[in-house]
Homo-oligomer: A and B are copies of this chain.
Amino acid sequence: MSAKARRRTTAQLDRAAQVCAQQGAQLTDLRRHVFSLILEAGAPLTAYQLLDRLKLTHKGAAPPTIYRALDFLLEQHLIHKIERLNAFIPCVEAGHRHPAQFLICCQCGVVSEIENRAATNALEHAAEKEGFRPRNTVVEIEGVCAACFRPS
């Protein structure tokens, strides 16, 4: 991990601590540790991948350990779950709830988060047209990312 990346992670952890404090929640060492694993991964990690990594330094970690931390981070809007992968990534706009769309590259595995207003609006209108009140929308677009796409 580069010095630059480490600085970024530290900044994100600090930001997260602020966000939690504002909500009257605490980013404990355990939660911070799990969050840092997600931040440093660069690709989505499943709960058990996180558990394996956590175990390296946190003997006695068990499934509830990781699922509780994940629930907390989700509640604080610090991470997102990618349903199709049963995996977790950091939120690029950490700390506040927002509509998002995820681009999942099936070649390199990278997932990037975008917030496209036109798409969000179109989905909301589509739902309203049916008399449906949206509360929480999941958009997961699988395909090939720009980096992986090469014209033949």
Chain A contacts to B: CB under 8 angstroms: 83-84, 101, 103, 105-106, 112, 114, 116, 118-119, 121-123, 125-127, 129-146, 149
Contacts and interface: CB of A to CB of B under 8 A. Distances in A.
Contact of A137 (B116, B133, B140): B140
B146 A130 contact: yes
Contacts of A137: 139-142
Contacts of A139: 123, 137-139
Contacts of A118: 122, 125-126
Contact of A103 (B125, B132, B140): B132
6 contacts: A130-B145, A132-B141, A132-B145, A134-B142, A136-B143, A137-B139
A130 B143 contact: no
